[in-house]
């Protein structure tokens, strides 16, 4: 790869660097306390929050894609975490929504435990590499007990953003 094809951070132009910054992935207003009591209600709340972002061109298509993904295979990865995700033309760029529930939700998680912490990830259909990197980065951070516990105990969106900011720092 020629040097001119590299961006200022040393990554190929157009690709997200592995050392992602939190502000590249989420806005504080995309961190919500969930009111839903079922999988579908929680997913709808999260998609509606994502739909407030200019990157989401079709909220209904995103919701359908997220539900289809859940029907194919649960995104409840265990440890009280679910990472519903979709790569879809109805999104330009990337949108991440973090939600937490005060009561665990039955999400058919791999460990059969309820889910209280959700990260919805939606990216453009052409962003395959970034999609994988974003999923991997969130999983890496959320597998830490201390991070999950701090997010669940945090006072609100600003506090959660601060917790995440510490763990996304390079």
Q: pLDDT tens for residues 143-155?
A: 999 999 999 999 9
Going by DSSP bridges, is the β-strand pair 115-123/94-105 parallel, antiparallel, or unpaired? Answer: antiparallel
Q: Which residues pair with 97 in a beta bridge?
A: 120
pLDDT digits (tens, 9 = 90+) for 57-89: 999 999 999 999 999 999 999 999 999 999 999
Domains and CATH numbers, the chain: 21-168 (3.40.930.10)
> What is the model's pLDDT at position 34?
97
* CA pair distance 102, 153, nearest whole angstrom: 10
For the chain, what is the mean pLDDT?
88
Largest pairwise CA distance in the chain: 52
Q: Is pLDDT above 90 for 18?
A: no
pTM of the entire predicted model: 0.86
> What is the model's pLDDT at position 42?
97
Q: Does residue 4 or residue 50 have the better pLDDT?
A: 50
Question: Catalytic site residue 126?
Answer: no
> What is the model's pLDDT at position 124?
96
Q: What percent of the chain has pLDDT over 70?
A: 87
Among 24-28, 52-56, 139-143, 144-148, the least confident range = 24-28
* CA pair distance 131, 125, nearest whole angstrom: 9
> What is the model's pLDDT at position 15?
38
Among 9-13, 93-97, 162-166, the least confident range = 9-13
Check 85, 126, 128, 167 and give the catalytic one: 85
pLDDT digits (tens, 9 = 90+) for 36-47: 999 999 999 999
Does an H or E element contain 129, and which?
A: helix 128-142
Q: Is pLDDT above 60 for 12?
A: no
* CA pair distance 153, 21, nearest whole angstrom: 23
């Amino acid at each position: 790869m020629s040097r001119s094809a590299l961006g200022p951070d040393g990554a190929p132009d157009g690709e997200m660097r592995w050392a992602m910054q939190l502000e590249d992935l989420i806005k504080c207003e995309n961190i919500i306390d969930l009111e839903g009591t079922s999988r579908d209600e929680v997913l709808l709340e999260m998609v509606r929050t994502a739909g407030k972002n200019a990157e989401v061109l079709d909220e209904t298509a995103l919701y359908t894609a997220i539900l289809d993904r859940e029907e194919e295979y649960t995104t409840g990865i265990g440890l009280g975490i679910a990472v519903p995700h979709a790569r879809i033309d109805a999104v330009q760029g990337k949108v991440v929504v973090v939600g937490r529930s005060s009561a665990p939700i039955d999400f058919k998680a791999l460990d059969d435990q309820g889910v209280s912490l959700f990260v919805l990830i939606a990216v453009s259909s052409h962003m395959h590499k970034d999609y994988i990197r974003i999923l991997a980065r969130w999983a890496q951070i959320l597998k830490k007990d201390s991070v999950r516990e701090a997010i669940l105990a945090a006072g609100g969106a600003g506090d959660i953003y601060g917790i995440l900011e510490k763990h996304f720092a390079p």
